[in-house]
Amino acid sequence: MSRVLIALGALVVLAIVAAMSIAGTYNRLVALDQAVQAQWAQVETAYQRRADLIPNLVATVKGAANFEKSTYIAVAQARARVGQVSLGSGAPSDAAALAKFTAAQDSLSSALSHLLAVSESYPDLKASQNFEDLQAQLEGSENRISVERMRFNDAAQAFNTARNSFPAVLVAGLFGAQFNEKVYFQSQPGSATAPAVKF
């Protein structure tokens, strides 16, 4: 009888230890997932800040005499394309959807870069304090976007490392899609190749 009680007590202790281990792992994954979600919100905030600057920038550029209409139309169209890409709520978990989102954002960055490069040919525009302020804010936004994307990748890497470690991988498997691996921002195709400089 005492052996049965000892065995039963040992099973109860093992069950409690296993339950506490699963609960601790689950809670750790939840905390890391929330860190990824919070960092994704920071990425979206940085992109939104840039998007909010664009109408003022375009309005300022439109005021410049003879400024290339096609340039600010390209910016407006790129901004519209960004608004059409939806990733749903929360951090993206689909690499293809994130790639599409990134491509739209990169297209907007390219259009803005072209706008700023073309503006160099317009001394009146360059001399405008409003344009200079907007240009500085836009450059600051681009830097923030880069930093927030890096921080997002760091948070995703911390989550993925914990999720794929033993025994967390078993716990993640128990809870299915809630703990799917997080995707990363990737560099643009061809960005590893230095551009050719011709004189």
**What does the domain layout of the chain look like in residue ranges?**
2-179
Give per-residue pLDDT as tens, 115-127: 888 777 777 776 7
Q: Would you give the distance in Å from CA 42 to the centre of its chain?
A: 8
Report, at the CATH architecture level, how domain 2-179 is classified: Up-down Bundle (1.20)
pTM of the predicted structure, to 2 decimals: 0.80
Per-residue pLDDT tens over the stretch 79-121: 888 888 877 778 888 888 888 888 889 988 888 888 888 777 7
CB 46 within 8 A of CB 100: no
Both tokens of 112, joined, read 């803005």
Tokens 């999720």 -> residue: 163
